[in-house]
Amino acid sequence: MKMDVNKQMILKKIPTKASEEFRNFPMVPRVVYGKGSFDTLGDILMPKRKHSEAPMIYLVDDVFENTELINRIPSIFCDQIVLISAEEEPKTGQVDALVKMIQEKFTELPSGIIGIGGGTLLDMAKAVAIMLTNKGSASEYQGWDLVNKQSIYHVGIPTISGTGAEVSRTTVLMGPEKKLGINSDYTTFDQVLLDPDLTKGVPKEQWFYTGMDCYIHCIESLNGTFLNAFSQSYGEKSLELCKEVFLEDILASESREKLMMASWHGGMSIAYSQVGVAHAMSYGLGYVLGVKHGIGNCLVFQYLEEFYPEGVALFNKMLKKHNIELPKGICANLSNTEMDTMITVALGMAPLWENALGEQWKSIITPKKLKTIYQKI
């Protein structure tokens, strides 16, 4: 599967414009790191406050309701804390409703949107920040570079590590027609605050699933045909950190710090490449059955030894070390129509397949083959 980088360059399509080959990506311009750094949030936000009528809106995972973290949020003037459940992944309708609520309640546009939580809350914050300045529904912007106005200042504060949503240029949303990100230069956070202590209470299973999202980003990026030195440098560092976290016996506090940085590097690695087979198939599971991103990736990845032999072998070791039992029979009661939809959604992710298998991917992966894998799940 692995090819050398030069060979890949020859195999890749010749772009029509230089700007298509050399994408000019935004990065997070400011980041604070360190245990306890959450307490600097008030100072960070102060210069961004437009005036007392323009609030900071904190979108916070409701798992923190009645916890000490809420009291540490620097909420002043007419700021508002909105508690949001991460039970389901973010939907375009939910983003639209939040935007409407904010517009109705305040006379001024907010000074900023701050997302505090996992990938679900981070994506919600990115989407709300975009939709406060862009007309219509969030579903109209699912795709690539459809956003044309600068978003509101937005800050991401992860409380669980793995997705890379804190660095990425996308916000993944379930829309009426598709599960697809709003990929744009305005999506990326203006500020990220990485405080490894915030991930202390994460339940073990969830820690594993979201952490494996990061591990799978590395495997898919490093074994993809789009690989280049930029992606490789971040992917290798992230993989090294994942191995320490999931295969070695290190202190819990060290593990939290390392996984937070693995997530960051994993996210950076896919910025200039793509994910692969597990993500394409996990999108199908998510769309039809509502299976969440992290666990969905794990459910698929365990059966991908044909594509990622070494990656799957290590994954099995990690499962064993942490006594994780993946659920079974997830696709057992699917109707034919549901199975077909799942396959169509997965096959619709062309860039992911092209990254995983090369330009001729259609001759390698067929609906029948996908069905065989889904049936095992």
Q: Which residue is nearest to ligand NAD (CB)?
A: 119
Which of residues 124 and 370 has its CB atom nearest to ligand NAD in the complex? 124
**What is the DSSP annotation of 320-362?**
HHTT------TTTT--HHHHHHHHHHHHT-HHHHHHHH-TTHH
List the single partner that 86 binds among Zn ion, ligand NAD, none, CB under 5 to 8 Å by kind: ligand NAD
Q: Please give the Cα distance from 296 to 312 (Å, whole number).
A: 15
The residue from 123, 166, 195, 213 that contacts Zn ion (CB under 5 A) is 213
Q: Is 116 helix (H, G, I), strand (E, B) or coil?
A: strand
Q: Which is nearer to ligand NAD, 54 or 275 (CB)?
A: 275
- Rounded CA-CA distance 98/216 in Å is 32
Q: How far is 254 from 245, CA to CA, in rounded Å? A: 8
Listing DSSP states for 260-315 in one string gives: HHHHHHHHHHHHTS---HHHHHHHHHHHHH---HHHHHHHHHTT-TTT-HHHHHHH
* Residue in 109, 173, 113 with CA at minimum distance from that of residue 146: 173
Which residue number is nearest to Zn ion in terms of Cβ?
A: 213
Instruction: Decide if 260 contacts 42 (C-beta within 8 A).
Output: no
- β-sheet bridge partners, residue 114: 58, 155
State in angstroms the smallest separation of the CB of 136 from Zn ion.
Answer: 27
The smaller minimum CB distance to ligand NAD, of residues 201 and 367, is found at 201
Of 94 and 225, nearer to ligand NAD (C-beta) is 94
Residue 112 or 267: which CB sits closer to ligand NAD?
A: 267
175, interface contact from ligand NAD, Zn ion, none, CB < 5-8 Å by kind: none
Question: Edge-to-edge strand order for the sheet containing 154-158?
Answer: 31-33, 191-194, 154-158, 112-117, 56-61, 80-84
Binding positions for ligand NAD, rule: CB under 6 A: 61, 63, 86, 89-90, 117-121, 123, 159-160, 162-165, 168, 170-172, 198-199, 201-202, 206, 210, 213, 292-294
* Residue 358 site contact among Zn ion, ligand NAD, none (CB < 5 to 8 Å, cut-off depends on kind): none
| Residue 58, H or E segment | strand 56-61
The minimum distance between CB 198 and ligand NAD, in angstroms, equals: 6
Q: Which does 159 bind (CB under 5 to 8 A by kind): Zn ion, ligand NAD, none?
A: ligand NAD
At closest approach, how far in Å is the CB of 54 from ligand NAD?
Answer: 26
CB of 279 to Zn ion, least distance (A): 6
Q: How far is the CB of 326 from ligand NAD (least distance, A)?
A: 15
The contact set with Zn ion (CB under 5 A) reads 213
